[in-house]
Structure 1
Amino acid sequence: MLAGGGERAVSFGTVSRATGLAAATLAGRFGTRDGMMLAALGHFWDGLDAATDAAATETKAPAFLKALGEAAVPQIVALSLTLPEMRPRAEAWRRSVEEALALRLGKTEPALMMFALWQGQRLWQAAGGRGFKLKEATRRLGTSG
Protein backbone atom coordinates (compact mmCIF):
# COMPACT_ATOMS: atom_id res chain seq x y z
CA MET A 1 0.00 0.00 0.00
CA LEU A 2 2.81 2.39 0.85
CA ALA A 3 4.64 1.65 -2.39
CA GLY A 4 1.53 1.98 -4.55
CA GLY A 5 -0.33 4.83 -2.91
CA GLY A 6 1.93 6.40 -0.31
CA GLU A 7 0.88 7.43 3.17
CA ARG A 8 -2.64 8.34 2.10
CA ALA A 9 -3.35 4.75 1.07
CA VAL A 10 -2.80 3.50 4.61
CA SER A 11 -5.60 3.53 7.14
CA PHE A 12 -6.91 1.03 9.66
CA GLY A 13 -9.75 0.37 7.21
CA THR A 14 -7.59 -0.29 4.15
CA VAL A 15 -5.15 -2.47 6.08
CA SER A 16 -8.09 -4.30 7.68
CA ARG A 17 -9.55 -5.11 4.27
CA ALA A 18 -6.15 -6.19 2.89
CA THR A 19 -5.23 -8.42 5.83
CA GLY A 20 -8.56 -9.63 7.11
CA LEU A 21 -7.75 -8.32 10.59
CA ALA A 22 -10.31 -6.15 12.33
CA ALA A 23 -9.58 -2.43 12.34
CA ALA A 24 -10.04 -2.47 16.13
CA THR A 25 -7.35 -5.17 16.40
CA LEU A 26 -4.96 -3.04 14.37
CA ALA A 27 -5.75 0.05 16.45
CA GLY A 28 -5.15 -1.93 19.63
CA ARG A 29 -1.85 -3.25 18.34
CA PHE A 30 -0.42 -0.03 16.84
CA GLY A 31 -2.32 2.74 18.62
CA THR A 32 -2.41 5.14 15.70
CA ARG A 33 -2.28 5.01 11.94
CA ASP A 34 1.17 6.61 12.12
CA GLY A 35 2.27 3.91 14.58
CA MET A 36 1.06 1.24 12.17
CA MET A 37 2.80 2.92 9.24
CA LEU A 38 6.08 3.28 11.15
CA ALA A 39 5.92 -0.40 12.14
CA ALA A 40 5.44 -1.33 8.46
CA LEU A 41 8.36 0.88 7.45
CA GLY A 42 10.54 -0.62 10.17
CA HIS A 43 9.70 -4.08 8.82
CA PHE A 44 10.60 -2.89 5.30
CA TRP A 45 13.99 -1.58 6.47
CA ASP A 46 14.74 -4.79 8.39
CA GLY A 47 14.09 -6.76 5.20
CA LEU A 48 16.14 -4.39 3.06
CA ASP A 49 19.07 -4.55 5.47
CA ALA A 50 18.92 -8.37 5.32
CA ALA A 51 18.75 -8.29 1.50
CA THR A 52 21.74 -5.93 1.41
CA ASP A 53 23.75 -8.26 3.64
CA ALA A 54 22.82 -11.23 1.44
CA ALA A 55 23.84 -9.33 -1.72
CA ALA A 56 27.32 -8.79 -0.27
CA THR A 57 28.43 -12.11 -1.76
CA GLU A 58 28.27 -10.57 -5.24
CA THR A 59 31.67 -9.28 -6.35
CA LYS A 60 30.56 -7.10 -9.30
CA ALA A 61 28.63 -3.86 -8.77
CA PRO A 62 25.78 -4.60 -11.21
CA ALA A 63 25.32 -8.09 -9.75
CA PHE A 64 25.30 -6.63 -6.23
CA LEU A 65 22.51 -4.20 -7.15
CA LYS A 66 20.62 -6.88 -9.06
CA ALA A 67 20.85 -9.15 -6.00
CA LEU A 68 19.03 -6.52 -3.98
CA GLY A 69 16.18 -7.28 -6.36
CA GLU A 70 12.77 -6.01 -5.51
CA ALA A 71 13.70 -5.39 -1.86
CA ALA A 72 14.82 -1.79 -2.49
CA VAL A 73 11.43 -0.26 -3.30
CA PRO A 74 12.31 3.33 -4.31
CA GLN A 75 8.89 4.72 -3.39
CA ILE A 76 9.28 3.47 0.18
CA VAL A 77 12.88 4.67 0.37
CA ALA A 78 11.68 8.12 -0.78
CA LEU A 79 8.80 8.12 1.71
CA SER A 80 11.21 7.18 4.50
CA LEU A 81 13.34 10.22 3.69
CA THR A 82 10.36 12.46 4.50
CA LEU A 83 9.81 10.99 7.96
CA PRO A 84 12.16 12.00 10.78
CA GLU A 85 11.77 8.56 12.41
CA MET A 86 12.85 6.70 9.26
CA ARG A 87 15.30 9.09 7.62
CA PRO A 88 18.32 7.83 9.60
CA ARG A 89 17.68 4.25 8.42
CA ALA A 90 17.37 5.36 4.81
CA GLU A 91 20.56 7.42 5.02
CA ALA A 92 22.49 4.61 6.72
CA TRP A 93 21.36 2.13 4.05
CA ARG A 94 22.37 4.51 1.25
CA ARG A 95 25.83 4.91 2.78
CA SER A 96 26.24 1.15 3.17
CA VAL A 97 25.24 0.49 -0.46
CA GLU A 98 27.52 3.27 -1.71
CA GLU A 99 30.41 1.84 0.31
CA ALA A 100 29.73 -1.65 -1.07
CA LEU A 101 29.67 -0.24 -4.60
CA ALA A 102 32.91 1.69 -4.01
CA LEU A 103 34.62 -1.55 -2.94
CA ARG A 104 33.46 -3.24 -6.12
CA LEU A 105 34.21 -0.33 -8.44
CA GLY A 106 37.46 0.76 -6.84
CA LYS A 107 36.36 4.41 -6.81
CA THR A 108 33.99 6.43 -4.62
CA GLU A 109 32.56 8.96 -7.07
CA PRO A 110 31.36 6.37 -9.62
CA ALA A 111 29.81 4.42 -6.73
CA LEU A 112 27.78 7.48 -5.69
CA MET A 113 26.68 8.02 -9.28
CA MET A 114 25.77 4.38 -9.78
CA PHE A 115 23.62 4.37 -6.64
CA ALA A 116 21.78 7.49 -7.83
CA LEU A 117 21.33 6.04 -11.33
CA TRP A 118 20.03 2.77 -9.95
CA GLN A 119 17.51 4.33 -7.58
CA GLY A 120 16.40 6.82 -10.23
CA GLN A 121 15.97 4.07 -12.77
CA ARG A 122 13.87 2.00 -10.39
CA LEU A 123 11.69 4.98 -9.48
CA TRP A 124 10.98 5.90 -13.09
CA GLN A 125 10.47 2.30 -14.18
CA ALA A 126 7.48 2.21 -11.83
CA ALA A 127 6.09 5.16 -13.81
CA GLY A 128 6.69 3.42 -17.14
CA GLY A 129 10.09 4.92 -17.94
CA ARG A 130 12.72 3.02 -19.90
CA GLY A 131 15.66 1.65 -18.04
CA PHE A 132 19.30 1.00 -18.84
CA LYS A 133 21.62 -1.89 -18.18
CA LEU A 134 23.70 -1.54 -15.03
CA LYS A 135 26.66 -3.20 -16.76
CA GLU A 136 26.54 -0.43 -19.38
CA ALA A 137 26.42 2.24 -16.68
CA THR A 138 29.45 0.65 -15.01
CA ARG A 139 31.37 0.75 -18.29
CA ARG A 140 30.43 4.37 -18.96
CA LEU A 141 31.47 5.42 -15.46
CA GLY A 142 34.93 4.13 -16.31
CA THR A 143 35.12 1.40 -13.71
CA SER A 144 35.84 -2.28 -13.92
CA GLY A 145 33.15 -3.35 -11.51
Structure 2
Amino acid sequence: MARAALNAIEILKADHREVEALFEKVRQRTCIGKEREALVREICLALRDHATIEEEVAYPAFRAAGVESHILDEAEVEHDSIKQLIGTLQSMGANDPHFDARVTVLGEYVKHHFGEEEREMFPLAQAADAELDALGRDLIEMKRQLGAGCMPRRTRNMLGLGTAI
Protein backbone atom coordinates (compact mmCIF):
# COMPACT_ATOMS: atom_id res chain seq x y z
CA MET A 1 0.00 0.00 0.00
CA ALA A 2 1.43 3.38 -1.03
CA ARG A 3 1.98 5.96 1.65
CA ALA A 4 -0.26 9.03 1.70
CA ALA A 5 1.19 12.10 0.05
CA LEU A 6 3.86 13.88 2.03
CA ASN A 7 3.27 17.46 2.92
CA ALA A 8 5.77 20.11 1.89
CA ILE A 9 7.38 20.39 5.32
CA GLU A 10 8.07 16.64 5.45
CA ILE A 11 9.64 16.77 1.99
CA LEU A 12 11.84 19.76 2.79
CA LYS A 13 12.94 18.19 6.09
CA ALA A 14 13.77 14.93 4.27
CA ASP A 15 15.98 16.97 1.94
CA HIS A 16 17.64 18.55 4.96
CA ARG A 17 18.39 15.16 6.54
CA GLU A 18 19.80 13.85 3.26
CA VAL A 19 22.16 16.82 2.86
CA GLU A 20 23.19 16.59 6.51
CA ALA A 21 24.06 12.91 5.99
CA LEU A 22 26.24 13.85 3.01
CA PHE A 23 28.04 16.51 5.05
CA GLU A 24 28.60 13.93 7.80
CA LYS A 25 30.35 11.67 5.28
CA VAL A 26 32.63 14.57 4.38
CA ARG A 27 33.30 15.34 8.06
CA GLN A 28 34.31 11.73 8.70
CA ARG A 29 37.09 12.20 6.12
CA THR A 30 36.83 8.61 4.93
CA CYS A 31 37.16 9.64 1.29
CA ILE A 32 39.96 11.59 -0.38
CA GLY A 33 40.84 13.06 -3.75
CA LYS A 34 38.39 12.44 -6.59
CA GLU A 35 36.01 10.53 -4.31
CA ARG A 36 35.85 13.53 -1.96
CA GLU A 37 35.32 15.88 -4.90
CA ALA A 38 32.46 13.67 -6.11
CA LEU A 39 30.83 13.72 -2.67
CA VAL A 40 31.11 17.51 -2.45
CA ARG A 41 29.74 17.77 -5.99
CA GLU A 42 26.75 15.65 -4.87
CA ILE A 43 26.20 18.02 -1.93
CA CYS A 44 26.39 21.04 -4.21
CA LEU A 45 23.87 19.58 -6.67
CA ALA A 46 21.50 18.59 -3.87
CA LEU A 47 21.69 22.09 -2.40
CA ARG A 48 21.20 23.74 -5.79
CA ASP A 49 18.09 21.68 -6.49
CA HIS A 50 16.77 22.13 -2.95
CA ALA A 51 17.19 25.91 -3.22
CA THR A 52 15.40 25.87 -6.57
CA ILE A 53 12.32 24.11 -5.22
CA GLU A 54 12.25 26.38 -2.19
CA GLU A 55 12.65 29.59 -4.19
CA GLU A 56 10.31 28.67 -7.03
CA VAL A 57 7.62 26.69 -5.20
CA ALA A 58 7.77 26.67 -1.39
CA TYR A 59 8.72 30.24 -0.52
CA PRO A 60 6.15 31.86 -2.83
CA ALA A 61 3.45 29.61 -1.34
CA PHE A 62 4.60 30.39 2.21
CA ARG A 63 4.62 34.12 1.39
CA ALA A 64 1.09 33.89 -0.08
CA ALA A 65 -0.07 32.08 3.07
CA GLY A 66 1.16 34.95 5.22
CA VAL A 67 4.55 33.80 6.49
CA GLU A 68 6.42 36.93 7.51
CA SER A 69 8.34 38.44 4.60
CA HIS A 70 11.48 39.18 6.60
CA ILE A 71 11.91 35.46 7.37
CA LEU A 72 11.59 34.51 3.71
CA ASP A 73 13.81 37.41 2.62
CA GLU A 74 16.54 36.32 5.03
CA ALA A 75 16.30 32.74 3.77
CA GLU A 76 16.73 33.94 0.18
CA VAL A 77 19.80 35.98 1.15
CA GLU A 78 21.21 32.89 2.87
CA HIS A 79 20.60 30.96 -0.36
CA ASP A 80 22.64 33.57 -2.23
CA SER A 81 25.59 33.12 0.15
CA ILE A 82 25.35 29.35 -0.11
CA LYS A 83 25.24 29.54 -3.91
CA GLN A 84 28.38 31.71 -3.94
CA LEU A 85 30.25 29.12 -1.89
CA ILE A 86 28.93 26.35 -4.13
CA GLY A 87 30.22 28.21 -7.20
CA THR A 88 33.64 28.59 -5.62
CA LEU A 89 33.78 24.91 -4.62
CA GLN A 90 32.74 23.78 -8.08
CA SER A 91 35.65 25.68 -9.59
CA MET A 92 38.32 24.05 -7.42
CA GLY A 93 39.57 20.57 -6.69
CA ALA A 94 40.02 18.72 -3.43
CA ASN A 95 43.76 19.42 -3.64
CA ASP A 96 43.17 23.17 -3.31
CA PRO A 97 44.46 24.32 0.11
CA HIS A 98 41.13 26.02 0.90
CA PHE A 99 38.83 23.24 -0.34
CA ASP A 100 38.22 21.64 3.06
CA ALA A 101 37.78 25.02 4.76
CA ARG A 102 35.18 26.05 2.18
CA VAL A 103 33.33 22.74 2.55
CA THR A 104 33.31 23.24 6.33
CA VAL A 105 31.98 26.79 6.02
CA LEU A 106 29.34 25.65 3.54
CA GLY A 107 28.25 22.97 6.02
CA GLU A 108 28.01 25.56 8.80
CA TYR A 109 25.96 27.94 6.62
CA VAL A 110 23.65 25.13 5.59
CA LYS A 111 23.22 23.89 9.18
CA HIS A 112 22.31 27.42 10.27
CA HIS A 113 19.91 27.86 7.35
CA PHE A 114 18.16 24.52 7.87
CA GLY A 115 17.84 25.24 11.59
CA GLU A 116 16.17 28.59 11.01
CA GLU A 117 13.78 27.12 8.47
CA GLU A 118 12.79 24.31 10.80
CA ARG A 119 12.53 26.45 13.96
CA GLU A 120 10.93 29.56 12.46
CA MET A 121 9.66 29.30 8.90
CA PHE A 122 8.11 25.83 8.86
CA PRO A 123 6.03 26.30 12.04
CA LEU A 124 4.73 29.59 10.63
CA ALA A 125 3.82 27.90 7.35
CA GLN A 126 1.98 25.19 9.28
CA ALA A 127 0.16 27.75 11.42
CA ALA A 128 -0.73 29.80 8.33
CA ASP A 129 -2.45 26.78 6.78
CA ALA A 130 -0.24 26.94 3.69
CA GLU A 131 -2.02 24.00 1.99
CA LEU A 132 1.00 21.83 2.68
CA ASP A 133 -0.34 18.66 1.06
CA ALA A 134 -0.96 20.38 -2.28
CA LEU A 135 2.36 22.16 -1.97
CA GLY A 136 4.02 18.80 -1.32
CA ARG A 137 2.67 17.51 -4.61
CA ASP A 138 4.04 20.62 -6.34
CA LEU A 139 7.46 20.06 -4.75
CA ILE A 140 7.52 16.43 -5.90
CA GLU A 141 6.60 17.49 -9.43
CA MET A 142 9.38 20.11 -9.45
CA LYS A 143 11.83 17.48 -8.19
CA ARG A 144 10.78 15.19 -11.03
CA GLN A 145 11.38 18.00 -13.51
CA LEU A 146 14.82 18.69 -12.07
CA GLY A 147 15.81 15.05 -12.43
CA ALA A 148 16.58 11.94 -10.45
CA GLY A 149 19.40 13.52 -8.47
CA CYS A 150 17.04 16.00 -6.90
CA MET A 151 14.91 13.61 -4.91
CA PRO A 152 16.71 12.24 -1.85
CA ARG A 153 16.53 8.52 -1.21
CA ARG A 154 14.56 9.12 1.99
CA THR A 155 11.90 11.05 0.10
CA ARG A 156 11.70 8.41 -2.63
CA ASN A 157 11.40 5.70 0.02
CA MET A 158 8.72 7.59 1.97
CA LEU A 159 6.73 7.93 -1.25
CA GLY A 160 7.20 4.26 -2.05
CA LEU A 161 9.08 5.14 -5.24
CA GLY A 162 12.31 3.28 -4.47
CA THR A 163 14.88 4.38 -7.03
CA ALA A 164 12.36 5.34 -9.72
CA ILE A 165 11.10 8.87 -10.08
The TM-score range, normalised by the shorter chain, is: 0.3 to 0.5
Question: Which has the larger Rg?
Answer: 1
Structure 2 length-normalised TM: 0.31
- Which has the bigger relative contact order, CA under 8 A and spacing at least 6? 2
Q: TM-score under structure 1 normalisation?
A: 0.34
